[in-house]
Structure 1
């Protein structure tokens, strides 16, 4: 199963979720994080393939952050993932508290956080998204219904870059199981392939959860 066979089906729900997301809420985990047993089953169902090339890749191939009803995806995630978040008329957070699950850092200014694509855009490209339409890639990059987006410290996001779990895990080790489940669920949701080392790392982690 590759992304091009599933993301057309998910496109309508992904777009709708942005419009329906709350403007502000208490701290909330990204939606759609499966149980450990479900993640193990999803991992087993994913194809293992040789990693694709970066030929033709550009972040602009995944249009983000898109605006719906005046709020863009970044602003929506910041409101969802923080505590006591207040937003202005432009949807930008004016106050709030955030906790970066990847490294345990606290923040009081939303502009200091990055929104991480759990499965990085470049990784998605190498795993099947290169064959998707522009609209499908946009839906993937702005997916608020699955566990693909999370507000984290800029330093943790940038240390991760486009690495997969064969080479990178959150430094906050107690979050590693959740991260593994988020990664697997995202690849399963979008029909993206795994590579052998990536699958081994995920399997080892999930078996210890």
Structure 2
């Protein structure tokens, strides 16, 4: 087996093992040594692929994001015509519905949320989405200020998600996603009518599409 393919296969085994253990035991109770044992690798080899459990959390978050966006492009007949906010709103609807459909997913996600450094790191790649907001809506936001917008948006998402879990709000994941997207629009000063229109469209699309094949931690 070529070295590249072997490395990819090993990384995949680590991610699969981590997801299984995170699902069964949660983030806090899972140790790197347990992941290595289940993946069938030496403990010393783990650092070749990941720096830490935080690095793995980022990989898992990125994987779910990719899956939701892939679903949009696969099942929307005119996905190329959707602007970045529409795509992000749809992705959010799918994202929160998938996470909050399973108690063990919720436990893991809550533990990620409670560790701000882990949550921030797990969302380190979102700036490219924000840059697309700026382009699509011609926002007068200097790129040097983008980290502040990122901090505000991620902080809002984290706080609302924690409250949703801790307070057991009697709203659906779609409602939570709608609330989050509304605040994101305010943070980036996108016109409220445009935001409202895109959220309504996102809810309609998410309601009428089958995304049960998308997994978070547990393989389907």
Structure with greater helix share of residues: 2
TM-score by length of 1: 0.30
Q: Which has the higher contact order (CA 8 A, sep 6+)?
A: 1
Larger radius of gyration: 2
